[in-house]
Amino acid sequence: MQQFDMNINGKPVQSGNTFDVINPATATAFAQCQLGDASHVEQAVAAAKAAFPAWSRTSDEERRQLLHAVAGAIEANMPELMRLVTMETGKPMGGLNGIGSGMEVGGSIAWTQYTAELQLPVDIIQDNDEARIEVHRKPLGVVASITPWNWPLLIAIWHVIPALRAGNTVVMKPASFTPVSTLRFVQLASEILPPGVINIITGPGRVGGILTGHPDVSKVTFTGSTPTGKRIMESASANLTRCTLELGGNDAGIVLPDINVKEMVPKLFAACFHNNGQTCAALKRLYVHTSQYEEICEEMAVLAKNVIVGDGLEEGTELGPVQNQAQLDIVQDLTDSARADGGRILAGGQRIDRDGYFFEPTVVADLTDGCQLVDEEPFGPIIPIIKYSDIDEVIERANRNECGLGGSVWSSDTAKAAELAQRLECGSAWVNDHGALQPDAPFGGIKQSGMGVEFGLYGLEEFTSIQTLKIAK
């Protein structure tokens, strides 16, 4: 069984106590990690705080080169990292439409390379005979990163690389379900970056709570559930600590009656089921016009029945297990509630009889707003297909949900679809696509889906403060 240590101030750290990391495809432990506590939080924050002055003064070019070296280390160790991601998350190495561990590690490389090249230029507000006024972007200090279990390595990169690029230092706390790929990444990065610039502690949720409430933490960046995000915001408020929160989503997709069903349904299916539906910005409520409702329901069910579900380490697997037992129970409960609400189970609907946390890809028809499966985020391999007849009404129904992460409109008329997509109350909107992210386009939610944005220059600025400099002449 593999053993993984924490990393503080560039050195491996053990606590004397460990916890098991479970492979969701087998429901058995494959690794052990250190059980950190408050003392390790103190050590890690102190190391990051001590490293900040020198790192923040490091030249822009040197930081750029070091982050490119980090990207190179990820690439050089890509097969190992892919295997770790698959074993801790259950996602396939390849996956449905190529969305699996290969994409997660490859995306980590690409995001690191792109972010390393970003610049924060000085903005000149005034430069005349009276005065010169400059606006500078300055690093904040110690950044706390709290990451979830669905995309552990990629989301760690989303948090850490812009923080480092801007000149901050970092303390990471990954989800206890999936810490190993992140631990290995930090080990690799620590061989390149100065001691204390990047640190990682592992342990239960209360360790993260201590970290986010620490007075020497200047910013918290968190990806996860809305309830946890609210607790983090509460703990950070004591010190007026800045927060970027990417929280839950219950994304709606609206299909207009002019689509080519055979062409679009595979894209719709992938948008709903990639990573087994365990993605914040996956399509989770599918609204279909009454004229094409039965046809699309039937086509979605056919795909669900034929997708290959299995161990992510096995070649050809498209969907893996649900990541943990608690989430599997949520998916089962929502399926049961769908049946009770009169939902028509067109495919799936039950657990798969094998070791691990497997659930059949499930398509449910004949539900509507107000049903639990429609109103709540399932975060698993299940999609409700909801009938509508009036476009204005369905946009209002889609917007009625408390979440506002993403949304999409599907149509052969892209101009009309774009106009409708802008009426959706969400941070990101897509036309004939859903959940497609890239490192140069900002991503973030509104309403109960969070605050702040990630990616590109907009995301990089989140890790800085503004200093206005006026030079009288």
pLDDT at 1 over 90: no
Average pLDDT of the segment spanning 344-361: 97
Residues marked as catalytic: 246, 280
Please give the pLDDT value at position 144. Answer: 98
How far is 10 from 70, CA to CA, in rounded Å?
14
Please give the pLDDT value at position 157. Answer: 98
| Residues 201 and 146: beta-carbon distance below 8 Å | no
Tokens of 357: 């946390």
Question: Using 50, 70 and 90 to split pLDDT, how confident is the model at 126?
Answer: very high
Average pLDDT of the segment spanning 126-137: 97
**What does the domain layout of the chain look like in residue ranges?**
2-247+449-472, 251-439
CATH of domain 2-247+449-472: 3.40.605.10
How far is 337 from 35, CA to CA, in rounded Å?
37
Quote the mean pLDDT of the chain.
Answer: 97
Tokens of 35: 């059980």
How far is 112 from 68, CA to CA, in rounded Å?
7
153-207 pLDDT, tens digit each: 999 999 999 999 999 999 999 999 999 999 999 999 999 999 999 999 999 999 9
Average pLDDT of the segment spanning 367-379: 97
Burial of residue 342, with CB atoms counted within 10 A of its CB: 0-12 exposed, 13-18 middle, 19 or more buried = exposed
**In Å, how far from its chain's centre is CA 15?**
29
Which is it for strands 242-246 and 251-255: parallel, antiparallel or unpaired?
A: unpaired
Average pLDDT of the segment spanning 203-213: 94
Place of tokens 């970290």: 211
Query: CA separation (Å) from 102 to 63, 108, 188, 395, 441?
Result: 27, 10, 18, 36, 22
Question: Using 50, 70 and 90 to split pLDDT, how confident is the model at 458?
Answer: very high
How far is 251 from 426, CA to CA, in rounded Å?
8
Tokens of 343: 């939902």
What is the Rg, in whole angstroms, of the alpha carbon atoms belonging to the chain?
23
| Residues 448 and 468: beta-carbon distance below 8 Å | no
Please give the pLDDT value at position 333. Answer: 98
**In Å, how far from its chain's centre is CA 207?**
20
73-105 pLDDT, tens digit each: 999 999 999 999 999 999 999 999 999 999 999
Please give the pLDDT value at position 65. Answer: 98
Fold classification of 251-439 is Aldehyde Dehydrogenase; Chain A, domain 2 (3.40.309)
410-421 pLDDT, tens digit each: 999 999 999 999
How far is 463 from 322, CA to CA, in rounded Å?
33
Average pLDDT of the segment spanning 236-265: 97
